[in-house]
Amino acid sequence: RAKKAGRNNIQMYQKEMNDELTHQINTEQELRAAISGHQFDIYYQPQIDLENQHIVGLEALLRWRHPKRGVLAPHEFISVAEQTGLLPALGEWIFYNACLQCRAIQAMSRSHVQVAINISARQLHHPQMVETLKRVIAEIRVNPAFLNLEIGEQVLVNNPAEAAEILGGLKEIGVNITIDSFGSGLSSLSNLARLPVDAVKIDRALTRNVPGDDYDAAILETLLSIASRMHMRVIVEGIERTEQETFFRNHNVRYVQGHLYSLPMPSDQLPEFFNALKQGVLNPEGGQIGLP
Ligand code: C2E
Ligand code: MG
Ligand code: MG
């Protein structure tokens, strides 16, 4: 009996593997078609300064408008894009469009609203990455000071010497650098001081359960004090409830992002969004947010 159950398990496992593989192959073919077929869009989510409720940034979040499956979030396709070598092409598409939209955002906001672009650790180590970004910035003539690259905290673990060199190259271009999802691995704090980093963004897994979870609160307080000692800006993500906002206010956190203020919105809604901000008619649950 046990033997039979074992065999069934193996068969089930193989079926799952096959399904996974087929899914991956489908996605790869579809991804290639999607890049040339304009199926991608960038959504933007506001980043808020709690001192004055001003919007200080917009995070660019990739979406795939899949013809059959609807709007897909990155976890459904980014790793396939990485494994199949399509990420550099997709990454360049993101740079190009986020830089174009960044320029438009400067014009619409008439202020220093930064655009945050996510870069995976793997993407960072791609040999052409820095040159590509530099070329795109020059071509579009966007001010690099308005760009903020969010790089996953694995960058602190994998090959920090090479990472330091690449990040140094990026700082030379003039962009800002944020360590994203900070605190999700917690294995690499000692490398933080070795990299040219402007800010850390605290992972949602840690911000989700405060106030209330004293263990998470203890870890957060430690991370906040490390960031402060290293003179790094802190931004907290995943704020959904006012109690969370109050907790971080009380811990002197200034920059926040989350559904409490705004969901990510499609790029074509940005003009309307900035109009609403200018007229002061935008009134989300998180209170009136406005332009600097
Ligand atoms: P991330 O950079 O940590 O982005 C934050 C994620 O949390 C986003 O998910 C965002 O929609 C979501 N989020 C924001 N506020 C809240 C909230 O209050 N509550 C909850 N439950 N979620 C919130 P999304 O857009 O699915 O992106 C997931 C991850 O995919 C991102 O994590 C980022 O690592 C990656 N990603 C997104 N766009 C790109 C891209 O253009 N390139 C690369 N390489 N990675 C990307
Ligand atoms: Mg991010
Ligand atoms: Mg994050």
Q: In the predicted model, what is the mean pLDDT of the chain? A: 89
Tell me how far apart the alpha carbons of residues 110 and 116 are, in angstroms, rounded to a whole number. Answer: 17
pLDDT of 41 above 60: yes
Can you give the pLDDT at residue 1? 52
Pocket test for ligand 1, best of 95, 115, 118, 150 (most atoms within 8 A of CB): 118
Determine how many CB atoms are found less than 10 A away from the CB of residue 158.
14
Nearest CA to ligand 1 atom 11: 264
pTM over 0.95: no
Pocket of ligand 1 (CB under 6 A): 45, 60-62, 73-75, 78, 94, 118-120, 123, 150, 180-181, 204, 237-240, 257-259, 264
Averaged pLDDT, 45-66: 95
Spell out which residues have Cβ within 5 A of ligand 2, the ion. Answer: 118, 150, 180
> 191 is written with which tokens?
């490398």
Q: How many residues does the chain have?
A: 292
For 126-168, how does the pLDDT look when each residue is reduced to its tens digit (9 = 90+)?
999 999 999 999 999 999 999 999 999 988 888 889 999 999 9
From the CA of 42, give the closest atom in ligand 1: 41
pLDDT of 197 above 70: yes
For 72-82, how does the pLDDT look when each residue is reduced to its tens digit (9 = 90+)?
999 999 988 99
Can you give the pLDDT at residue 3? 54
Tell me how far apart the alpha carbons of residues 141 and 135 are, in angstroms, rounded to a whole number. Answer: 10
In this structure, the strands spanning 265-266 and 40-49 are antiparallel
When pLDDT is cut at 50, 70 and 90, the band that residue 223 belongs to is very high
ipTM of the prediction: 0.98
